[in-house]
Chain A
Amino acid sequence: MTERLLSVEDLKVSFSTRDGENQAVRGVSFHIDAGETVGIVGESGSGKSVTAKAIMSLITPPGKITSRNVNFRGENLLNLSEKQWRKLRGNQIAMVFQDPMTSLNPVKKIGQQLTEVIRRHRGLNKEAALTEAANMLRQVGISQPEQRLQQYPHEFSGGMRQRVMIAMALSCQPELLIADEPTTALDATIQAQILDLFKELKGNSHTAVALITHDLGVVAQVCTRVIVMYGGLIMEEGTVEDIFYRPQHPYTKGLLRSIPKNGGKSKERLVPIEGSPPDLLDPPPGCPFMDRCPHAFARCAERPPVFELSAGHRSMCWLADGEVSVGVEGGTFA
């Protein structure tokens, strides 16, 4: 059995707004093992990015995090002081963000920004940090790193900036890398290059990756396990094979139908999911997908429990009830 790196139990995040509480994440439980790559998939507003920020405790007021337990390498993160958090962030847990154009400070040199992080967490002196920064840039495929370190962000293309961000995130050899839509803001060709980089880096490090994306195609390429989120809840969870070949949840099936196959070359018609996501200011008490689900029935007004379909393949849908050998009534994802 692999080592459990991160486990989250019943995580809830809400933001108070003028119109009430926006319950962005409504109780999710999952785990990430050391060295694995997990995809967290969902439409925008499904709560996936908020979940990622919550893991790093980056939710600021009016946002609020509650959780039964967030455990990282046997340590409960909920009890950490801000100072302890600062030691952890960028060091053991690092994050890559969606838009590389706005991720870097535009008035500071790349070198300054990289060495700042390296020096903060690894206590190196300036020269050593600079050498290390150059090494990192080389690792993420940036040529002439010494010269590049002296440049400002605007002198880099979007793809190059994302490489810099990845270098920065990996510079302290984190145990967990959270990548929040790392390719969404990039052109298709650059996207492919960055994904290749992820795959390559995956091969030579033991860093676990949580890849947050709305794109199942990306997940299929790099992940071993997938978590599907919707309306602030986890709908289905399983290995890539489970999700792509044996999807149970109607939402997962809908998502799969809406992605182009063969890189969009086939003539097969894409089927977008009708309707819009639930209002999280006043979320439905039952299944959040009920209103859009083609198979919805009366019982869906009641929140379904999590059914374990096979080892590690779980789904939150009443339809799974019949397919299941063991119904874990009231159970949660863990």
Chain B
Amino acid sequence: MRQLIVRRLLQTVPLLFFVSVVCFFMIKLAPGDPVLSFVTPNMHAEDIERVRHNLGLDKPAYIQYFIWLKELLQGNFGYSLTNHQPVLDQILERLPATAGLMGSAIALAVLLAIPLGLLAGANRNRWVDKLINFISYIGISVPLFWLAILMIYLFAIKLHWLPSMGMRTIGVESTADVIKHGVLPCTVLAFGFLTSYVRYIRSSTIGQLKEEYVQIQYAFGASKTTVLFRHVMKHVLLPVITLLGMSMGDLVAGAIVTETVFSWPGIGSLGMTAVRGMDYPVIMGITLFSSLMLIIGNLAADILYSFVDPRIKLTR
């Protein structure tokens, strides 16, 4: 058990290393000289060189990389080119908004997907299944930003039920207000996750129901409901852990479009602002941060999986 965790952790290290290399050289390749953001109009050429030297930018790229990496390991993701704030601080400041939105969207999606997926899988090719299947087809094919626009039109503009922009009403400091603002973006995101989860759960339910042990449960007098909820559900829930792990990467990046449409002040809209302003350190910080989340998410899912699935303990 411990061996498994250690081995998975060790596998993660080179992956992280390569991701950081890719990120670093993408910054290097980016157009524009980062020194220029420190330059004021009345500086001389020597001054500019001195700044360059002080920043370590005159050294060979690989040395720069290691300096950058060393800083990175100490939590220094660099400074924004536009407001000169530490990148990590900005990300962490925005994290709660994104994590809250994503967390509730994923939770909502999972809670709905499990019964829907089981229902569809258990009633394969009946009308319930066909309906759920059709909705999930729509779900994987609909542009989420379009869905967002339509929902804004319906619920904010026509019905005036919900706010369409931001996270708070100015001057109001209440959780209820934040929740109210979160309903639309959360629903849109949840729909996006939901459909892929449902498809996954449906097909694994169908697969499990074909297993011999299920047939045998019937031979021992189990009802369909018993089989579905006592036997199949546990099997089906296991892969959901993996799905959740994979969703961790989306936690940061996947919300870009939705956060933009709803002006949600999270990491996604920070990223958009950075991209618009060509603020490379921020973009890189976010990229690195989300890759980290993705890798950690997968790792955590693997480890959690091995705790939950009895078969893995001994076979590895």
Q: Tell me the smallest distance from the CB of B219 to a CB of chain A, in Å.
A: 5
0/1 per residue, B222-260, Cβ < 8 Å to A?
Answer: 110010001100110010000000000000000000000
Is B212 positioned at the interface, with any CB of A under 8 Å from its CB?
A: yes
Chain B residue, CB-CB nearest to A151? B310
Across-interface contacts of B25 in A (CB, < 8 A): none
Is B137 positioned at the interface, with any CB of A under 8 Å from its CB?
A: no
Chain A residue, CB-CB nearest to B218? A58
Chain B residue, CB-CB nearest to A83? B223
Q: List 8 A-B contacts (CB under 8 A).
A: A86-B221, A95-B216, A97-B216, A104-B213, A105-B217, A107-B311, A152-B310, A152-B311
**B230 lies within 8 A of A103 (CB):** no
Chain A residue, CB-CB nearest to B237? A107
Q: Give bound CA distance, A91 to B220, whole Å.
A: 7
Residues of A within 8 A of B (CB-CB), count:
31
Interface of B is mostly: helix
Is B315 positioned at the interface, with any CB of A under 8 Å from its CB?
A: yes
Q: Which of A89-119 contact B (CB under 8 A)?
A: 89-91, 94-95, 97, 99, 102-109, 116-117
Is A257 positioned at the interface, with any CB of B under 8 Å from its CB?
A: no
Across-interface contacts of B215 in A (CB, < 8 A): 58
Q: Tell me the smallest distance from the CB of A209 to a CB of chain B, in Å.
A: 15
**A91 lies within 8 A of B231 (CB):** no
**A58 lies within 8 A of B234 (CB):** no
Q: Tell me the smallest distance from the CB of B228 to a CB of chain A, in Å.
A: 13
Across-interface contacts of A155 in B (CB, < 8 A): 314
**A90 lies within 8 A of B219 (CB):** yes
Q: Which of B42-79 contact A (CB under 8 A)?
A: none
Q: Which of A113-136 contact B (CB under 8 A)?
A: 116-117, 120-121
Q: Which of A131-159 contact B (CB under 8 A)?
A: 152, 154-155
Is A190 positioned at the interface, with any CB of B under 8 Å from its CB?
A: no
**A99 lies within 8 A of B212 (CB):** yes
Across-interface contacts of B211 in A (CB, < 8 A): 102
**B221 lies within 8 A of A120 (CB):** yes
Is A168 positioned at the interface, with any CB of B under 8 Å from its CB?
A: yes
**B314 lies within 8 A of A90 (CB):** no
